[in-house]
């Protein structure tokens, strides 16, 4: 099963595709969409949606997992993040993918063994579990790999909350 993981953002949006065969998970592709910061929000959202559509067409995932909105950010940031998630969810729905949502703590717990793990601990476990070694990973791509890795473990176990039907 191929899982697309998405770490939403309006300035940088991480994405990753992993494939699970039994108990083995392999990272197939990852990256981040970084639309022009001087463009309009609508233009940035369009760039993210277009990039996501291209990644879906190329890697053909079976399901998608999106990180749930984090509540510790400012209200303005939360609104912009919610708008980015809306564009992402719309593109995933257009592709006909089953979409699941995971809270940051659930992702950390699935990947690093603790819902309170910090970003460095999660990134280290992503590298270890996916045998990535010293490959260069942007923080957003590493986060998306964590989302996809957690999703590969949780999708189908009814731990992830279904967002679309």
State the CATH number of the domain containing residue 17.
3.30.420.10
Taking the C-alpha atoms of residue 15 and residue 147, their distance in angstroms, rounded to an integer, is 9
Domain that holds residue 50: 2-163
Instruction: Report the SS3 class of residue 110.
Output: helix
Number of structural domains the chain divides into: 1
Res 84: pLDDT = 94
**Tens of pLDDT, residues 89-133:** 999 999 999 999 999 999 999 999 999 999 999 999 999 999 999
Res 165: pLDDT = 46
Quote the distance between the C-alpha of residue 131 and its chain's center: 19
Q: Please give the model's pTM, rounded to 2 decimal places.
A: 0.90
Q: Terminal CA-to-CA distance of the chain, rounded, Å?
A: 18
Catalytic positions are 7, 67, 140
Query: Residue ranges of the chain with pLDDT lower than 70?
Result: 70-73, 156-165
């Amino acid at each position: 099963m191929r899982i697309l993981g998405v770490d939403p953002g309006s300035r940088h949006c991480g994405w990753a595709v992993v494939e699970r065969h039994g108990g083995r998970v392999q990272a197939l592709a990852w990256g981040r969409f970084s639309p022009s910061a001087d463009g309009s929000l609508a233009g940035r959202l369009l760039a993210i949606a277009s990039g996501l559509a291209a990644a879906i067409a190329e890697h053909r995932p079976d399901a998608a997992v999106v990180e749930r909105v984090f509540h510790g950010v400012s209200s303005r940031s939360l609104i912009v993040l919610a708008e980015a998630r809306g564009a992402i969810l719309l593109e995933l729905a257009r592709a006909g993918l089953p979409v699941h949502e995971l809270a940051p703590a659930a992702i950390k717990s699935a990947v690093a063994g603790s819902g309170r793990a910090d970003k460095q601990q999660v990134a280290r476990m992503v590298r270890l579990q996916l045998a990535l070694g010293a490959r260069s990973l942007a923080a957003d791509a590493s986060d998306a790999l964590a989302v996809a890795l957690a999703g590969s473990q949780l999708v189908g176990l009814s731990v992830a909350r279904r967002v679309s039907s």
